[in-house]
C-alpha cells in the first residue's frame, strides 16, 4: 500500500530479524535491540528513538506487539508523529473489557449476562456466578487471546478457576482483575469491520466469521459469514457502528460478537487492523491500509455506507510453523512454495532460504482465496492447500487440509 501511494516505508527489527523479509522490503530499516521482544519490539523507548532517528512522519502499529497500546500511541504523538490508529483515549475506552461492556450498554448493543462490578473478591464472585447460573466463564479484564480465561461448569471448581485465571492474567497483562460471563456453549464468533474518520463519520465493511479456532486463537476466517441472513447481518453491523460512535472511535477497528442462534452479544473491540483484514478487502474491493492512512492524514472517508457492497466469498487460513501438537517449530525454510492462480492471494512473511526464529508468533503466511460464491471459494481453498509446499520447519498444513476437507466446513 505504501509503495502504491508513493510513501517511503521504514522498518524496525530485532537481532533475530536481521535478515527478515519485512526488513528487506522496507525502504529503510533500523535495529532496535536483542531478540527478546521485551528488549526490542515492546521497548517503547527504543521505538521512539527509531522514529526520531528516521524522521518518520507516521507510525503504523501493525497487528501485534504494541498495536493496541495507548501508552505507545501517546509516545508516538509526543514526538510529533501521526499514530495510524484510533486516538489513545478511544483505545483506553475499548481496551479494558469491563469499560467496553459499559459502552456497549450505553450504545444499546446486547451484552452477555455477567458480572463486572468493582467488588471482585472470591465470595462475591461466587455469589454472582450462582446468580448467573453455571456454566460461567471467568475472564481477565485487561486482555484477550484466551489468557486468564477459565470455563467453570460446577460450583465446586469455581474458586480454584478464579485463582488460576488471576495468576495467568497477572503474568500476561500485569493486571489480575477478572469478571464473569455466562458461558454460551455453542456460539459462533462474528466480527464486524468498522472504520471512522476524524469528521464524525463511521461505517462498517460488513462482517467476518472466525468460529474455527484452536486454543482460542483463530485459524480460519471468512467473509461473509454463512450463518447470517440479510436482516441479522444488518442488525449486527448497525450495532457495531453504534458501539464505535459511542466510543468516539477513529481509524480501523473490529467489533466482535458471539452469535447464539438469532441472538448476538457484544464480546470486545480490537482497536487495530486485524490479521484477517484481507478477506474483507476481497469481498468489498477496498484496501483497508489505504483507508487507514487516509483517515490518519485527516481526510474524510471517501465513501458512504451505501457505497459499500458485498461481492462473493473469501476465506483465509493462517499458515503456522508448528507441529501437530501446536508447538512452534523454527529453523531453515528449505522450501516455501506458495499456491498461485485465479482468486488466490498470499500474504507471506517468509520465503525459501529464510530462517524462522522461535522468538515470536509462529505465523509464516496467510493464504486467502476468493470466488463469486462460497462453494467455489472452498474448492479453490482445497486446491491451494494441496499445492502448498513447506520443507524445513513443521507446519499446520495437515490440520488446515483436514478442516477444508471436513463435510461440516
Least Cα distance to 102 among 272, 266, 271 occurs for 266
CA distance 400 to 406: 10
CA distance linking residue 157 with residue 58, whole number of Å: 49
What DSSP state is assigned to residue 293? H
| Number of residues assigned to the chain | 409
C-alpha cell at 247: 466510543
Closest CA to 191 of 181, 202, 206: 206
CA distance 244 to 237: 11
Catalytic residue selected from 272, 318, 345, 380: 272
Query: How far, in Å, CA of 372 to CA of 314, rounded?
Result: 9
Tell me 322's DSSP state. B
272 a catalytic residue: yes
Distance, first Cα to last Cα, the chain: 33
- What's the CA dihedral at 45, 51, 54, 58 to 10 degrees? 170
Distance of CA 321 to the CA centre of its chain: 19
Q: How far apart are CA 54 and CA 57, in angstroms?
A: 9
Give catalytic residue positions. Answer: 272
Amino acid at each position: 500500500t505504501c509503495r502504491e501511494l508513493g510513501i517511503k516505508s521504514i522498518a524496525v527489527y530485532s537481532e533475530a530479524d536481521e535478515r527478515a523479509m519485512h526488513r528487506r522490503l522496507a525502504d529503510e530499516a533500523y535495529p532496535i535491540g536483542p531478540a527478546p521482544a521485551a528488549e526490542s519490539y515492546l521497548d517503547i523507548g527504543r521505538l521512539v528513538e527509531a522514529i526520531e532517528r528516521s524522521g518518520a512522519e507516521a507510525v503504523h502499529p501493525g497487528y501485534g506487539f504494541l498495536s493496541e497500546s495507548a501508552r505507545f500511541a501517546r509516545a508516538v504523538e509526543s514526538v510529533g508523529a501521526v499514530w495510524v490508529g484510533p486516538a489513545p483515549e478511544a483505545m483506553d475506552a475499548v481496551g479494558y473489557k469491563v469499560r467496553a461492556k459499559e459502552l456497549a450498554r450505553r450504545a444499546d448493543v446486547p451484552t452477555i449476562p455477567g458480572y463486572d462490578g468493582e467488588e471482585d473478591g472470591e465470595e462475591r464472585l461466587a455469589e454472582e456466578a450462582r446468580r448467573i447460573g453455571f456454566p460461567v466463564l471467568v475472564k481477565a479484564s485487561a486482555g484477550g487471546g484466551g489468557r486468564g480465561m477459565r470455563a467453570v461448569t460446577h460450583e465446586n471448581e469455581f474458586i480454584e478457576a478464579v485463582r488460576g485465571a488471576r495468576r495467568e492474567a497477572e503474568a500476561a497483562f500485569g493486571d489480575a482483575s477478572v469478571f464473569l460471563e455466562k458461558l454460551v456453549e455453542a456460539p459462533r464468533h462474528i466480527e464486524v469491520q468498522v472504520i471512522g474518520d476524524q469528521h464524525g463519520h463511521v461505517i462498517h465493511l460488513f462482517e467476518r466469521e472466525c468460529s474455527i479456532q484452536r486454543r482460542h486463537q483463530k485459524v480460519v476466517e471468512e467473509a461473509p459469514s454463512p450463518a447470517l441472513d440479510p436482516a441479522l447481518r444488518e442488525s449486527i453491523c448497525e450495532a457495531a457502528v453504534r458501539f464505535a460512535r459511542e466510543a468516539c472511535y477513529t481509524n480501523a477497528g473490529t467489533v466482535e460478537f458471539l452469535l447464539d442462534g438469532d441472538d448476538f452479544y457484544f464480546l470486545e473491540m480490537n482497536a487495530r487492523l486485524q490479521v484477517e483484514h484481507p478477506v474483507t478487502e476481497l469481498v468489498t474491493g477496498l484496501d483497508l491500509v489505504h483507508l487507514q492512512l487516509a483517515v490518519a492524514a485527516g481526510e474524510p472517508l471517501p465513501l458512504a455506507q451505501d457505497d459499500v457492497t458485498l461481492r462473493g466469498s473469501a476465506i483465509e487460513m493462517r499458515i503456522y510453523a508448528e507441529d501437530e501438537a501446536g508447538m512452534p517449530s523454527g529453523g531453515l525454510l528449505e522450501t516455501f512454495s506458495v499456491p498461485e492462480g485465479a482468486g488466490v492471494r498470499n500474504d507471506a512473511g517468509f520465503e525459501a532460504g529464510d530462517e524462522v526464529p522461535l522468538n515470536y508468533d509462529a505465523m509464516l503466511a496467510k493464504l486467502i482465496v476468493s470466488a463469486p460464491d462460497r462453494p467455489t471459494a472452498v474448492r479453490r481453498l482445497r486446491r491451494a492447500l494441496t499445492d502448498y509446499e513447506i520443507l524445513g520447519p513443521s507446519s499446520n498444513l495437515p490440520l488446515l487440509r483436514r478442516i477444508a476437507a471436513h463435510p461440516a466446513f
